[in-house]
Amino acid sequence: MEITNIRELIRNFPDRSIKWLLETPENLQVLLSIAIGELSKFIDYERIENIDRNFILNNFRKREADMIFKAPFTDKSHGFREVIIFILIEHQSTIDHLMPFRIMSYMVQIWDAQRKEWESRNIDLDKQKFYPILPVVFYTGSQKWDKSLDMQKLMDLPEQLAKYTPYFEISFLDLKSFSSDKLTESGHPFGWILRVMQKENAGTDEFKELLVQVVKNIENMSLEQQANWNKLMYFLFMFICNRREKPEQSELLGVLEKNVTNNLRYKEVKNMEKTIAQSLIEEGFEKGIEKGIEKGIEKGIEKGLQQSLFEILRVRFEYIPSDIIEIIEKTRNPDRLLTLQRLALKCNTIEEFSNRLNNDN
């Protein structure tokens, strides 16, 4: 996976990472089997497609983490048709009592986009059929959701007027309150990823035990599922770096590495560690050069920048030859040390860095 993609996921982890996993149909199938039950069996996941959401109003687009899919829906009584699956990923622990209205607003916009397409393509009137929409809320917050998802409950509604007001069901998955065993009932490793998300605040020992189980289940994935194996493992690394406290991160990451038994996959895990570590350094480098300099002032600006350069080299290449250490320790110019940090991030091997370093001196 490219460094730029990893950095993007790290930078926007809460929203982007889950959407990234659900772009893989087999992961989406596991989530929907939990959220909508038997209904999920009528969806053709081999022909499902992710829909462009540019038509969503800007004020909504800035706030929501949502995904829209179109898929064939088949049943014996009605045969083939297509359905829209709308998934709203809600991370905030503050309960929004207006959730039914938010969902209805999205549904109307989806249908309106379909109407505009009919107009632009001059679709015959008898073929203008709106897609049915399956709305799903995937709630990952810690506070128990105690608000109604019924649009009618948002009104002071006399019984006589009930038939004139909108009613629709919303499938709701409250991850933190859901049965852990049911999350993994399908046997698919994505269910175990959901358990990791569910237990993000568990104690260190409990979380370590869970990671062992998760990796063992992921290890059972076939070679045909290798691309998804990569996704799930990358997610675990990034989840630990984003959700667990720094003092325990190294230990938890070690659990992932230790429990990968396949030699080829073990090498891939080592590469993941380097890729993510490098991404974190680059992210911190771009966002926090000033902070790094401030921290360096305490020890002397050049000393702090030297230590940062050594850290980058160790993460990238593990071993630093003594001649490189000597050159860096003799370098006092802050601008030069910053340039060498950028060079260390760009070079692919320690030999390449050494050659560039010697040529510049």
> Could you read off the pLDDT of 295-330 as tens digits, one per residue?
544 455 667 678 878 888 887 787 888 889 889 888
Q: Rounded CA gap, 29 and 132, in Å?
A: 18
Q: Which residue has the higher pLDDT, 266 or 28?
A: 28
Domain edges within the chain: 3-153+162-202, 300-361
Confidence (pLDDT) at 273 = 78
Task: Enter the pTM of the model.
Answer: 0.76
* Reported confidence tier of residue 197, pLDDT bands at 50, 70, 90: very high
pLDDT at 80: 64
Q: In what order do the strands lie in the sheet with 49-50?
A: 49-50, 65-75, 79-90, 133-139, 171-174
The percent of residues in the chain predicted with pLDDT above 90, rounded, is: 50
Picking from 204, 132, 193, the residue whose alpha carbon sits closest to that of residue 168 is 132
Number of H helices, E strands in the chain: 15, 5
**Is the pLDDT assigned to residue 24 strictly greater than 80?**
yes
- The angle, 0 to 180 degrees and rounded to 10, between the axes of the packed helices 189-198 and 25-35 is 60
Yes or no: say if 131 and 85 are a contact pair by the CB < 8 Å rule: no
Half-sphere exposure of 221 (CA within 13 A, CB side): 24
Tell me: pLDDT of 202 over 80: yes
Query: Among the ranges 146-155, 262-271, 321-330, which has the highest mean pLDDT value?
Result: 146-155
In this structure, what is the dihedral angle of CA atoms 49, 55, 58, 61, given to the nearest 10 degrees? -20
pLDDT attached to residue 306? 83
Pick 116 or 65 by higher pLDDT.
116
Burial call 74-109: b when 16+ CB within 10 Å, e when fewer: eeeeeeeeebbbbbbbbeeeeeeeebbebbbebbee
**Which tens digit of pLDDT belongs to each residue from 85-142?**
999 998 877 788 999 999 999 999 999 999 999 999 999 999 999 999 999 999 998 8
Backbone angles phi, psi at 70, to 5 degrees: -120, 135
Average pLDDT over residues 253-274: 86
